Structure 1
Amino acid sequence: MIDLYYWGTPNGHKISIALEEMQLAYQVHPINILKNDQFDPEYLKISPNNKIPAIVDHDSFDGEPIAIFESGAILQYLGRKTRQFYPSAERERIEVEQWLMWQMGGFGPMLGQNHHFSKFAPERLEYPTKRYQDETKRLYGVLDTQLSNKDFVAGAGRGAYSIADMAIFPWMCRYDWQGIDLNDYPHAKTYFERIQARPAVQKALQIEV
C-alpha cells in the first residue's frame, strides 16, 4: 500500500495519474495547502520542503517503508518499482528523463509563476505578468514542435507514453489560467486531448479531497 499525501494541484495530479496508470494500491491523505497543512511537523518528516505531493511506500524495494518527496523523484521511483512507463534501456531512459526535467525545471515553475502573477497576486504588475506569460508561450511552442511528428514526448517513432507525459499533462490542464489558446499549438492540443481521454487519467483527476 502507498500513502499519497495530496492536494488537487498539477503536481498532486502527476502522482495520482501515475498510481492509477500503474494500477498501484494507494490511500489518499489530504494536505490542505490552503490551510497550511503542509507545515505540520508530522508532514515535514515526510516532505521537509513543505510541499505536496509526497508518498510513503510500505512495500518498497527492501521491505521497509520509504518516504519520498518531489514529484519527479516519485515518478522515477514508481517507474522503477513497476517497470512501467520508464524505460530500462539507457538511451530511451535518458530521453524520458530529459523531458521530465524539462517539465520540472521549466514547464512547471514558469507556468506556476504565470498562475501567480496572472491570477493570484494582490497587485497586477505588468512586467512579471508579461515575462511569465511570454515564457509560457515559448514553452508551449517547444512542446508543440516536439509533438509535430510524435504522439508522446519521448520514445522512438511516434513515442511511448511515459512518466514525462504524466508530469507535463497536469500543467496543461490550466491553460486558461495561463492565457493559452490551445488552438495556437495544434500538436500540443491533440496530445492534451489524447492523454485527457485515458480512463486512468480521468479517474485520477476526479479524486475528491
Structure 2
Amino acid sequence: MSHGKQFTLFTHKGGPNGWKVAIVLEELGLTYESIYLDFQKGDHKAPEHTKHNPNGRIPTIIDHKNNDFTLWESDAIIEYIVQKYDTEKKISAATEEDRFRQLQWLFFQASGQGPYFGQAAWFSFFHPEKIASAQERYKNEVQRVLGVLESVLSQQEWLVGGRCTVSDLSFIPWNDFALNGLLEGVDIAEKFPSVSKWHAKMAERPTVQKVHATQAELKKS
C-alpha cells in the first residue's frame, strides 16, 4: 500500500460513518486514500482489516505521518483529527467549554443518531422480513432525534460556538438518509424546518459537495 497520502481510510461505499471522516479530512485539506471494503465479501471481518480494527467495522484510519497511528470509531477519529491537525480551529471548538459541548454532540451523534437511523434503515430496506413494529419504533426514534436537533437549532444557527464545526458536520451522512426516503410520508422541511435549513447550509460547502460527488460516482460503479 502506498503511503504517498497522509491517511489511509478504510471505509465503505454506502456506509455513512466513513463519509463523516472524509468530510472532516477534506475540510482540513488532509490527504487520504480511501480503501472501500466489500461487505458482501466480508472484507471488514478479514484479518487484513481486523488487525487494525478488532471490531471489524468501518471506518478505520492509519495516520502515516504519526508513526502509522491507527484508530477506529468514527467520532473518536474525528476528535483525533481536529485535536491534532485543526490548529487554527477552523472546524472545531475554540474554548475549553465549547470543546466539551463538541464532545457532547459527537457522543449524541454516535449514541443517538447513528444507531437509530441505522436500525430504521435496516428494518425499512434490508431486513428480509417486513416487521411493522420495528419500522415504526425506529422511525419514531429518528423523529425524536431530529426533534432534539430542531429544539436547539431553532434557537441558534449552529450547535457549538456560533459557527460550523465537526459537531454539525458529523450529522451530515445519516441526515442524508433521513432526508432521502427514510421517513416516507413525513415532510421533514415542514416538521423540522431548522434542521432542514441547517443541513442545506452544510450541503452547500464545497467539501461536502465533493464528498457527495464521490458518493454519486461510486454508486455508478
Q: TM-score scaled by structure 2?
A: 0.87
Partner AA of 2:63 in structure 1: D
Give the structure 2 partner of residue 59 of structure 1: 65
Return 5+ residue gaps in structure 1 as ranges: none
Partner AA of 1:7 in structure 2: H
Q: Distance in 1 between matches of 2:160 and 2:203?
A: 18
Partner AA of 2:182 in structure 1: Q
Give the structure 2 partner of residue 173 of structure 1: 176
Q: 2:75 aligns with which of 61, 72, 75?
A: 72
SS in 1 for 2:33: strand
Q: Distance in 1 between matches of 2:8 and 2:83?
A: 18
Partner AA of 1:205 in structure 2: H
Give the structure 2 partner of residue 91 of structure 1: 97
Identity %: 33
Q: Distance in 1 between matches of 2:108 and 2:187?
A: 21
CA RMSD for the aligned pairs? 1.4
Equivalent pairs, count: 203
Q: Deviations over 1:135-178 (max 9, x none)?
A: 111111111111112222112xxx22111212111111011342
- The CA deviation at 1:32 is 1.7
Return 5+ residue gaps in structure 2 as ranges: 1-5
Give the structure 2 partner of residue 123 of structure 1: 129
Q: Distance in 2 between matches of 1:151 and 1:32?
A: 38
Give the direction of change, closer, same or farther, for the CA distance of 1:168–1:123 in structure 2 (3 Å limit).
Answer: same
Which aligned pairs between 1:1-209 and structure 2 lie closer than 5 A?
1-8=6-13, 9-60=15-66, 64-83=67-86, 84=89, 85-155=91-161, 159-175=162-178, 176-179=180-183, 180-183=186-189, 184-207=191-214, 208-209=217-218
Q: Is the 8 A contact 1:47 1:54 kept in 2?
A: yes
